[in-house]
Amino acid sequence: MTIENVCVYCGSSNHIDESFHKSTIKIGTLLAKNNINIIYGGGHVGLMGLLADSALAAGGKVTGIIPRHLHDREVQHDHLTELHVVENMHERKKMMADCADAFLILPGGFGTLDETFEILTWKQLGLHNKPVIIYNEGNFWSPMITLIEHLIKNGFIPKDNSGFYTAIDSLDQIIPALTAPVSPAIDPSEKWS
């Protein structure tokens, strides 16, 4: 499968260990070198800023989509290929999802969790059938994956939904995972049958 635009969800915090910086910079560079455009939240802070800077430095195209209230607080990145200022978070998340061919989840906090679970929920409801790749280097996301497995085990998420995401733990898996063929969509009504 060919991927033109990948939506990357990642943390905006500046108060994180530097060990997180290195792989984010490598991922921004890797995506740019593979001619994959980045769609992201448009911030200059935390891993978001590092991702955008590294992709731009490697000649990549980066599109930011930021709600007006964050733009007014001047957390936007001012040197992106494109920056869209939208009215609210809902509009932003819809536009990010619509523009993307696939989703890549890097370490992050509440915002990243919200975006991850929203995009998985939309996949469950049949609103899209795009790849969702969880970058689990150093087992960062293992607690979240364990939680998802717990929900599946207890019947709150259908068993076959476990294929809605692919967890990977190294850089060399990113491009193959993003471009792998997606499984056929699952009828959302199975959730309630």
Based on CB atoms, which residue is closest to ligand AMP, 28 or 43? 43
Q: Which long-range contacts link 51-54 to residues 24+ away (Cβ below 8 Å)?
A: 51/8, 51/10, 51/24, 51/25, 51/27, 51/106, 52/28, 52/77, 52/80, 53/25, 53/28, 53/77, 54/24, 54/25, 54/26, 54/27, 54/28, 54/29
Options 111, 131, 136, 174; binder of ligand AMP; rule CB under 6 A = 111
Options 66, 133, 157, 177; binder of ligand AMP; rule CB under 6 A = 66
Options 27, 37, 97, 108; binder of ligand AMP; rule CB under 6 A = 108
Based on CB atoms, which residue is closest to ligand AMP, 5 or 13? 13
Angle between the 110-124 and 89-99 helix axes, to the nearest 10 degrees? 60
The CA angle 76-82-85, to the nearest 5 degrees, is: 50
Backbone angles phi, psi at 61, to 5 degrees: -105, 125
Q: Annotate each residue in 13-52 with x if it binds ligand AMP (CB under 6 A) or - if it does not, as one string.
A: x---------------------------xxx-x--x----
Tokens 């910086």, residue?
21
Based on CB atoms, which residue is closest to ligand AMP, 13 or 34? 13
Options 4, 72, 90, 109; binder of ligand AMP; rule CB under 6 A = 109
Should residue 12 be labelled a site residue for ligand AMP when binding is judged by CB under 6 A? yes
**Tokens representing 45?**
């802070």
Touching ligand AMP, residues 74-103 (CB under 6 A): 75
Backbone angles phi, psi at 71, to 5 degrees: -60, -40
Mark the segment that binds ligand AMP (CB under 6 A) among 11-19, 54-62, 137-145, 165-173.
11-19
Binding site for ligand AMP (CB under 6 A): 9-13, 41-43, 45, 48, 66, 70, 75, 108-112, 115
